[in-house]
Amino acid sequence: MFSKIYSATLTGIESIVVSVEVDVSDGLPVFDMVGALSLEVKEGKERVRTVIRSMGQRIPARRITVNIAPADLKKSGTGFDLPVALAVLLAIGNYPDAKLEDLFVAGELGLSGEVLPIRGILPMLLAAKEVGLKRCLIPMDNLSEAAFVPGLTVIGVRHLKEAGAYLQEGSIPKQEVKRSEASSPKRVLDFADIHGQKMIRRASEIAVAGMHNFLMYGPPGAGKSLIASALPTILPPMTEQEKTQVMKIYSVSGKENMDALMDGQRPFRSPHHSMTQIAMAGGGVIPRPGEITLAHHGVLFLDELPEYNRKTLEILRQPLEEGCIHISRNKTEEVFPADFLLVAAMNPCKCGYYPSVKCHCSPRSIGQYIARISQPLLDRFDLCAEAKKVQITELKETEKEESSDRIRERVVAAMEIQKERYKGCEVLFNSQISSAAIEEYCHLDTKENQYLDRIYDEKELTVRGYYRILRVARTIADLSGSERVKLEHLMEAVYYRTLNRRFWEVNEDVSV
């Protein structure tokens, strides 16, 4: 007897539909699984055998061959247990009425026959829809992800028996979408709750509006992390397309906190500085997404930037340029999307108080501290702003600060302007304007040009720094609804310009 069920395997964050074929024929009693299977797929054989037996079925003493096709594709993951079990049961004569042509099945089995959740259901469903499958049998616990794939009949099952009953009689068990516990309305920090910090607030707004990478520096306890964690509230909600892509990533990496994403909130990742390179970039024998991919279409916040391993930070450079990361491993090469807004915070020195009189670092240690961040990486921060210790008078001000929603309105408006301007180009945001195209988008008058020439010398700007100021000025102009980049926009951009390392090198002027 022969049977065939469709399932899927993961490659990176994409999924490919494969077919699980089972043949039961005469010969020595063997249970064999073939088809370029990884260890966890092969082990499924034992789970399937035990579960079938525990359901009271006798596995005939015949030759059972399981093949997962196409045979040259490496298969991994635990989602093959359920399709293999069903296919075996079909091949030995169960469920004669089952219709399998448009059915997709995935799920892991426990020894008692319960169906356990798996990673990557969302991309699997998308792949299934792509090849024209209509009905999907998946673990009940994964049901929440199914909401993203309209046009499919998705049935969640909790036990192998329920799956069998569906195949035979078409009976559907009670569907329960599990919302993770974190979904209880979590208090999100709003910009209205942050007192003072006028400069940083404004800088955050500019950073988000033009997707400029943003670096905050200042003494400990000045509220840098606080501001960063409020950033998602002023980011515009994700579009459906973005949402699907982000959900796919989270589905593959098996992250729980998907409810906020489903509401359209952008991801906010703040990995600890003890993280490894692989955790940042993604990787492993079977490559899995790293933090930069998890922050796709959202914010990657690196607190205490100089404390990160230097190599870990250098990894960021290529994704920041290309918006994706290529990971090559022994047999596979994956491309993970990694288009994120990089936000970082740092103390200016070891003790955190440079250049104030409170600082007790030696000039050498001050120079070494900034040197932990390479110049090329420093160059990728378009915007820098200093966080100041909040004064007690500011804290006590009863007047509420501007709320996130109000700021978001301006951000969205500025983004609309950019969308209109860059229609038909590869550029989406001001931060991506190439230096060749900058003259076209940031045209300056004589007065403005003169100002920049002066600044170029006075602030010892680099060529890159010069262009960065123009890009940021463009965003500031967009925020104010101005078509031209005016002097005031340039001046503000200069104020938020990239850190100048010179100020950290032996600097006799700021000793106090």
What tokens were used for 422? 């860059």
Residue whose pair of structure tokens reads 């205490």 in the numeric block: 304
Single-letter amino acid, residue 439: E
* Minimum distance of another protein from residue 355's CB (angstroms): 5
* Minimum distance of another protein from residue 511's CB (angstroms): 4
* Minimum distance of another protein from residue 500's CB (angstroms): 7
* Minimum distance of another protein from residue 389's CB (angstroms): 11
Query: Helix (H, G, I), strand (E, B), or coil: what is residue 77?
Result: coil
Residues that bind another protein (CB under 8 A): 198-199, 217, 355, 357, 363, 384, 386, 388, 454-455, 458-459, 488, 491-492, 494-495, 499-500, 503, 506-512
Between 110 and 355, name the residue whose CB sits nearer to another protein: 355
Dihedral of the CA atoms 387, 389, 393, 395 (nearest 10)? 70
Single-letter amino acid, residue 192: A
Rounded distance, CA 111 to CA 47, Å? 6
If you write DSSP's letter for every residue of 106-136 in order, what string do you get? --EE-TTSBEEP-TTHHHHHHHHHHTT--EE
Residue whose pair of structure tokens reads 């999100």 in the numeric block: 188
Rounded distance, CA 446 to CA 457, Å? 17
Between 426 and 458, name the residue whose CB sits nearer to another protein: 458
Interhelix angle 487-495/463-479, nearest 10 degrees: 120
* Minimum distance of another protein from residue 404's CB (angstroms): 22
* Minimum distance of another protein from residue 494's CB (angstroms): 8
Between 233 and 498, name the residue whose CB sits nearer to another protein: 498
Contact 191, 404 (CB under 8 A): yes
Contact 149, 129 (CB under 8 A): yes
Q: Taking Cα atoms as reference points, which of 82, 112, 76 lies closest to residue 20?
A: 82
Between 145 and 492, name the residue whose CB sits nearer to another protein: 492
Between 422 and 451, name the residue whose CB sits nearer to another protein: 451
* Minimum distance of another protein from residue 372's CB (angstroms): 18
What tokens were used for 271? 């990995």
Dihedral of the CA atoms 391, 393, 394, 397 (nearest 10)? 160
Name the E strands within 258-308.
268-269, 282-283, 288-289, 299-302
Between 55 and 487, name the residue whose CB sits nearer to another protein: 487
Between 87 and 499, name the residue whose CB sits nearer to another protein: 499
Contact 218, 93 (CB under 8 A): no
* Minimum distance of another protein from residue 405's CB (angstroms): 24
Between 253 and 507, name the residue whose CB sits nearer to another protein: 507
